[in-house]
Amino acid sequence: MKNFKELVDMKESKWKGLPTGVFFTMLLVVALMVYLPDGEGIQGGYIRGNFLGILGVLAVFGLLFGEIGDRIPIWNKYVGGGTVLVFFMSAILGTYRMVPEAVMKSIGIFYSKQPVNFLELFIPALIVGSVLTVNRKTLLRSVSGYVPLIILGVLGATAGGVVAGLLFRINPMDIVMNYVLPIMGGGTGAGAIPMSEMWGAKTGRDPQEWFAFGISILTIANIIAIFTGALLKELGEERPHLTGHGQLIMSGNEREEDTDWKATGADEQDFAAALFMTAVLFLFAHLSAEVWKSWNLAFDIHRLAFLVIYVIILNVADVIPDRLKAGAKNMQTFFSKYTIWVLMGAVGFGTDVNDIIGALTLSNLVIATAIVLGAVGAIMFFSKFFKFYPIEAAITAGLCMANRGGSGDIAVLGAADRMELISFGQISSRIGGAMMLIVGSIVFGLFA
């Protein structure tokens, strides 16, 4: 078990390879840059708000609380360890303005705004690396059974929400429209926002009315999903027969990924080639989403959903050389293992703790919990019929439907230590989210 003594032992290099003295020197430099006022008296004014500058700030912040969180008893086993501590500490520091506004603005650009948007580098890298290196037959089996499992999870979430709603005398259709749809709808940008527009179009009222409550209940469910991911990780350690330890498909004694990618001899050139290929695939996926949108169909398909589809096609067609696949695998490993705390810090700084506190009524908490656990329970019950491991299926088809989209997927998979399942998380958030938009359109049309 990790202990705190390692973190201050000058002979140990426990800060992700950084010697203790080097890390604390970096921490001092970052603290000075963040809190020293510049010539105009602006705190954080010396921070260059570019990719490298904010990467340095978030990396040091993430290492500090990540390593501490991995060593706190109970927290590290049942709450999510360093990954979740980074998220919550950054949310607290950001919400209560304990970090200068200049730095907060730069972090917001780094995380989710053009032209930087680290999230749009992190997620495509994981999608390409994970989908491209899965055994082709296994991939086809998983996709064919995965979407039905998502549907079963939505039905379980609906049943859980309706039962909990009856305890508070809330009409079942109100539960479906105001709780289940925003929670299971694929996040904020691709889910709650377009759903609010659908609701407004059907009712003739301001979409903000539906959205304000929807985003609050979604925020609560997102936190519950993160905690549940950590608990499922611990359940897998206690009940090994329920988990594939990061593998979704049950395949007897064979691993889902049966290729030794290290044996291909892939090097830095293959890593770079995979990164460049990922960039072009992402461009093509974005173009596809824009063309789809121009057709004015009933629902949109997110660019990341198109990216998943295209990488599946490349895998099944077997047109990518093994060395390039190995480079993609190395790319995935690098981002998932060494930059997750950076991203969790950025996600946390963009989370307002007051939104969570404001929506934390007893009824909302109970109903949101029932929806999340209803999805998890239904999926774990039916998963073996589709030859999926119950815990991995519940995390991806359940929790990654009941969170805040891409950032929620990262938080849930990070807490569950299942980051290699990001491609299935994206299928849930994007393709599953698109399915929920269709459901939302029908429900609002009939009952709003």
Q: Which of 117, 149, 174 is the last residue of a domain?
A: 117
| Owning domain of residue 180 | 121-447
Q: What's the rounded Cα separation, in Å, for the pair 18 and 135? A: 36
Instruction: Clarify whether residues 48 and 99 are in a common domain.
Output: yes
Residue 254 has pLDDT above 60, yes or no: no
CB under 8 A, 24+ apart: contacts of 317-321: 318/136, 320/132
The structure's pTM equals 0.75
Q: Which of 117, 143, 162 is the last residue of a domain?
A: 117
In whole angstroms, how large is the CA radius of gyration of the chain?
22
Give me the mean pLDDT over the 74-85 stretch: 77
Residues 188 and 82 in one domain: no
Residues 214 and 277 occupy one common structural domain: yes
pLDDT score of 255: 45
Q: Which residue has the tokens 């690098």?
A: 334
Are residue 376 and residue 249 in the same domain, yes or no? yes
CA-based torsion, 238, 400, 103, 98: positive or negative? negative
Q: Identify whether residues 53 and 125 lie together within a single domain.
A: no
Residue 377's nearest CA partner among 148, 147, 225, 156 is 156
Domain boundary among 117, 149, 169: 117
Q: How many CB atoms are located within 10 Å of the residue 268 CB?
A: 9
Ramachandran sector of residue 249 (left: φ over 0; alpha: ψ -120 to 50; beta: rest)? beta
Q: Which residues contact 362 (CB under 8 A, 6 or more apart)?
A: none
Together in a domain, 58 and 84: yes
Greater model confidence, 337 or 3: 337
In this structure, the answer to whether residues 350 and 220 fall within a common structural domain is yes
Q: Are residues 429 and 340 in the same domain?
A: yes
Asked if residue 163 has pLDDT above 70, the reply is yes
Q: Which residues contact 151 (CB under 8 A, 6 or more apart)?
A: 435
Interval 181-223: pLDDT, tens: 999 987 775 678 778 877 887 888 878 778 878 878 888 898 8
Peptide bond into 100 cis (omega under 30): no
Residue 422 or residue 258, greater confidence: 422
Query: Do residues 294 and 400 share a domain?
Result: yes
Mean per-residue pLDDT of the chain: 86
What value does the mean pLDDT take over residues 255-276?
Answer: 77
In this predicted structure, what is the pLDDT of residue 13?
A: 62
d(CA 287, CA 307): 11
Q: How far are the Cα atoms of 126, 138, 194, 244, 377 from residue 250, in angstroms, in the given order?
A: 22, 9, 36, 7, 18
- For 241, how many CA atoms within 13 A lie in the half-sphere containing its CB? 1
Most confident of 262-266, 355-359, 367-371: 367-371
- Is 70 exceeded by the pLDDT of residue 179? yes
Query: 311, 131 in Cβ contact below 8 A?
Result: yes
Count: domains in the chain: 2
Same domain, 71 and 133: no
Residue 54 has pLDDT above 90, yes or no: yes
276 and 323 together in one domain:
yes
The amino acid present at 98, given as its one-letter code, is M
Share of the chain above pLDDT 90, in %: 43
On the question of pLDDT at 1 being above 60, the answer is: no
Same domain for 219 and 90: no
Please answer whether residues 229 and 101 qualify as being in contact, where contact means their C-beta atoms are separated by less than 8 angstroms: no
